[in-house]
Structure formats: structure tokens, C-alpha cells
Structure 1
Amino acid sequence: MVLRHDQNALPETVVDELLAEPRRRLLLGVLYDRGERMSVADLGRELAVAGTDPTPDGRREMRRAIREDDLPKLLATDVVRYDSTLDAVSLSGAARQFEDRLTELARELR
């Protein structure tokens, strides 16, 4: 794996930890594949459909997990941006440092 290095690059161990969680890996792959900001509702729907529970309860649980579990870690590492007015998430420039892995994730989604 090639990490793009600069002064603000995340350590490889942090990137590995972020991508170790399957839901977070899928979330990042969807954002990378779309290449645009997505609402948490749309992300929840995509992740629920890709997972095992595309029911309304499954989508609701996925939105909760994104907000409570994934966004705090991704925001703390500056990998995503969150617009609270739109309740929407997008990849930040920091995500480019592990673009090779995001490309692989997006490919797996297709």
C-alpha cells in the first residue's frame, strides 16, 4: 500500500484502524465511488442494502451507527467533512493519502 506522505499524513496504523471496521470501510468506499457529498440518510440506505438488513429498521440502525460510531472517528482524523445543516458527509482532502485503498473499496462495490 502506498500512502501519500506530507506533514499532516495519518500514520499507517491509524489508516489500518479506520479501515478495519467493515461498515466504515464500506462507508468510505461509497463516498469515494460517488465522488460527492451524501446525506447520512442516503449513506444509511446504501450501507443497509449492502449489508444484511435493508428494512426500515436496518436503515435507521445504520444511520445511528454512522452518526454515533463512524463519524466521530472519521472527523477526528479529518478524513471526512460533515455538514450539520444538510446532515451530509463528504471525503476531505486527507482521504487522498490512502486513495489506493479507497479505489479498491469502490471497485469491490461494483
Structure 2
Amino acid sequence: MAVEHGEGLPGHVVDDLLASPRRRRLLGILRREDRPVCLTELATELAAAGPDGSTEAVSAAERRAVEARLREEDVPKLLATDVVAYDSTLDALSLSGSAAQVEPRLADEP
């Protein structure tokens, strides 16, 4: 069933947003933190998704690579759909208006 304009994000858009494990984890972090989180902090936590999950073990190169992918691939999609808001002063993301449509599907995310 198609969603009419003004009724929120179409289901296929939500599916596309949540198809990326990195975007799901990013949204899960923002949901858990319930505050603006700077992109560097997000990148570090996402890079720590390895076997030990320790942010201390993340190298600067790993963090920069994840941050570049966030800026180039994930953040533009999330901003375009109003799922996140970007604060340029803090270089931080927070959940925004349309996040309520994806949050129920993030229940299993850490």
C-alpha cells in the first residue's frame, strides 16, 4: 500500500534506510543516547563493532574511514528523509521528526 504525501515515509524508504547495518547501528546509538552525538564519536563507536567492541582499540585511520562513509553515504540519506537532524556547530546528529517511523524497527539494536 502506498503512503500518501504528508503521511510519513513510504515503507520502501524505511526499508532502504534500515537495509544498511551501519545505519541501523547509528540510529540505535542516537536512540540510546537521546542527545546530539558528534560524528567523530559515532564513527568511533561504529568502528568498534569488531570482535572486542572496544573504542580504545579503534585506530585514527579506522575512525576516519567510518566517518567518511557516514558523511558520504549515510548522513545524506538520513537527513533527506528527516530521520536525523544535523547541528553544524557541534558537528553532531540527533534523531528528528521522521525517526518515530523507524524506531519501532530498531528495538533489537544495541
TM-score computed with the length of structure 2 as normaliser = 0.84
Shift of 1:41: 0.6
Alignment equivalent of 2:91, drawn from 61, 75, 87: 87
* Aligned counterparts of 1:103 and 1:7: Cα–Cα separation in 2: 25
Higher relative contact order, chain-length normalized (CA < 8 Å, sep 6+): 1
Runs of at least 5 residues in structure 2 that lack an aligned partner in the other structure: 52-56
Tell me which protein shows more helix as a share of its residues.
1
List per-residue Cα deviations over 1:29-88 (Å, max 9, x = no partner).
111111111000100111001147822111011111111111110001110000111100
* Aligned counterparts of 1:51 and 1:83: Cα–Cα separation in 2: 28
Is residue 2:34 matched to residue 1:35? Answer: yes
**Residue in 2 aligned with 1:12?**
11
**Residue in 1 aligned with 2:46?**
47
Is contact 1:32–1:103 with CA below 8 Å preserved after alignment?
A: no
Any idea what SS the aligned residue of 1:90 has? strand
Cα–Cα, structure 1 residues 86 and 15, in superposed 2: closer, same or farther, change >3 Å?
same
* Aligned counterparts of 1:51 and 1:77: Cα–Cα separation in 2: 29
TM-score computed with the length of structure 1 as normaliser = 0.84
> Between the two proteins, what is the percent identity of the paired residues?
51
Any idea what SS the aligned residue of 2:82 has? coil
* Aligned counterparts of 1:103 and 1:33: Cα–Cα separation in 2: 10
**Residue in 2 aligned with 1:57?**
61
Cα–Cα, structure 1 residues 46 and 71, in superposed 2: closer, same or farther, change >3 Å?
same
Aligned length: 102
Give the RMSD, CA atoms, in angstroms: 1.9
